[in-house]
Amino acid sequence: MNSKAPVVRAPVVDRLAFILPWAQGSGDEQKRLMPRIKRRLARAIAAHTCVRAYRKGGRYLENFDILLPGGATALIQIGALQPAYQKGGIRVVLNPARCGPDGIRQLHLVMGGIVGRRYDELMKQPLINNVDFAVDVEGVDLDQLLVGYKKARRFTTFGKRINSRGRIEGHSFGAVTSDYMAVAYDKRQERIHAAINALVRAGGRGGTDRLVENAITRVKRARDQPPLMRIEVRGKKLRGLRLCKLVTLPNRFERFRFVYLGDQDSNLPAPVRLGFVSLCRDLGVKAALETFKHTEHARAIHAYWRAGHVNWWQPEKLWLQGCEAVKEIGLFPDQAFEPAE
């Protein structure tokens, strides 16, 4: 880690999926409204504000993307296949961090034109299914950290790419079936990979010299950026949670634990230090400490472990700040955050 203190940025809303209570009930209202929705959607597609979206195994009759400024999109699904059992006939999925105020205005404009006058009233009653909060930590190299996560029954550790030196680029805690997943990954490496992919596309499709040159510049710019770690808490299954109850959920950021095991002073020989770090990453900290328990290095190992705990990770308020970020994006009216009568 560099000499400059890491900077923990405020959380942003990286993904949001919610449903609106449109045409609920037996399905009679939906049958009456869907022909009108289809006509309005066809006009929006002809005007190039929307494009068809194809989703396998979807639970809605109509699926389309609203095109937003800056290349972002919002997935819209209308018409529940089982209106008597689904909580709402409209589902919206977007990345608020990429949309910006102009994107939110465009979303409201297009949705108002397709859904009609009831759209504003429906937005006062959203039910949240998924929300991802992301926190960026500048000046931290993930490969120099041990990342722990408390109270996780299932662990999954992944490396998007591992080079010949065994560099780790990401950790994931939680299972596919879990309600939550927690992730810490190297954001700078992700940007480098994206830039390299863009370069390959620019050169492989007969791109002009100008396009290739821009792609090379993008790779260099991404490579020269300082270390950046991103921490995400992904609420995958919130089951139609009202916005007013989001703040009452447990703070999942508090479960993360970071230990810096770089080149700080220690009495450990280099092979012993590297072996301990490797065991921590492979088997976990408890197993690694137990392995060295009755060796001559036991005391030095414990001192080395304790000395590495960082003081820049203070997650007590991060969940509250994430909930505030949901308000600040301007997607929902103030009434949506009030308790239901």
pLDDT, tens only, 133-169: 999 999 998 888 888 888 876 667 666 666 666 778 8
SS3 209: helix
Report the C-alpha gap between 198 and 176 in whole angstroms.
29
pLDDT, residue 324, reads: 97
Report the C-alpha gap between 61 and 83 in whole angstroms.
11
Report the C-alpha gap between 65 and 142 in whole angstroms.
35
Report the C-alpha gap between 6 and 144 in whole angstroms.
13
CA atoms within 13 A on the CB side of 161: 11
pLDDT, residue 162, reads: 64
Instruction: Determine how many CB atoms are found less than 10 A away from the CB of residue 259.
Output: 19
Share of the chain above pLDDT 90, in %: 60
SS3 213: helix
Instruction: Determine how many CB atoms are found less than 10 A away from the CB of residue 263.
Output: 10
pLDDT, residue 277, reads: 87
pLDDT, tens only, 4-22: 789 999 999 999 999 999 9
pLDDT, tens only, 246-284: 999 999 999 999 998 765 667 788 899 889 988 888 887
Report the C-alpha gap between 1 and 327 in whole angstroms.
35
* H/E stretch holding 148: strand 145-149
Domain ranges of the chain: 7-12+133-319, 22-124
pLDDT, tens only, 162-212: 666 677 888 888 887 889 999 999 998 888 877 777 777 776 655 566 777
β-pairing, 127-138 vs 241-242, is antiparallel
Query: Quick one: which of 24, 30, 94 has its CA closest to 61?
Result: 30
Specify whether the CB–CB gap between 37 and 62 falls below 8 A.
yes
Report the C-alpha gap between 111 and 128 in whole angstroms.
18
Please say if the pLDDT value at position 341 is more than 90: no
pLDDT, residue 220, reads: 78
Query: Quick one: which of 182, 186, 144, 138 has its CA closest to 161?
Result: 186
Which stretches of 58-162 are DSSP H helices?
Answer: 96-115, 119-122
Specify whether the CB–CB gap between 276 and 267 falls below 8 A.
no
